[in-house]
Amino acid sequence: MSSTSQKHKEFVAEPMGEKPVNALAGIGEVLGKKLEEKGFDKAYVVLGQFLVLKKDEELFKDWLKDTCGANAKQQRDCYGCLKEWCDAFL
Partner 1 sequence: GRPWSNPEAQEDPAHLSKSRLRSDLVSHNVELPPAGSKKEVYLKLHLEHVDQGNAAGFSSDEDDQVLYAPGGDRVDTKIPDPTALSDKDLKDLLLKYGVKAGPIVASTRAVYEKKLRKLLQSDGNEGLNEAETAVLYSDSDEEGEENGDLEDEKESEEEKERINEALELNQKQCNEHLQEPVKNILKDLIPEAKTTPTGIYVTPRRPIKGAAQRPILYGYPDTPVSPTTLERRDVERRLVPIYVQILVFFIVLYILYFISINV
In terms of CB distance, is 54 or 73 closer to partner 1?
Answer: 54
Query: C-alpha angle with apex 81: 75 to 85, nearest 5 degrees?
Result: 145
Task: Tell me the torsion sign for CA atoms 63, 45, 12, 29.
Answer: positive
Where on the chain is the footprint of partner 1 (CB under 8 A)?
9, 12-15, 49, 52-54, 56, 58-59, 62-63, 66, 88-89
The minimum distance between CB 40 and partner 1, in angstroms, equals 9
The minimum distance between CB 33 and partner 1, in angstroms, equals 19
The minimum distance between CB 29 and partner 1, in angstroms, equals 22
| Pick from 27, 28, 77: nearest CA to 57 | 77
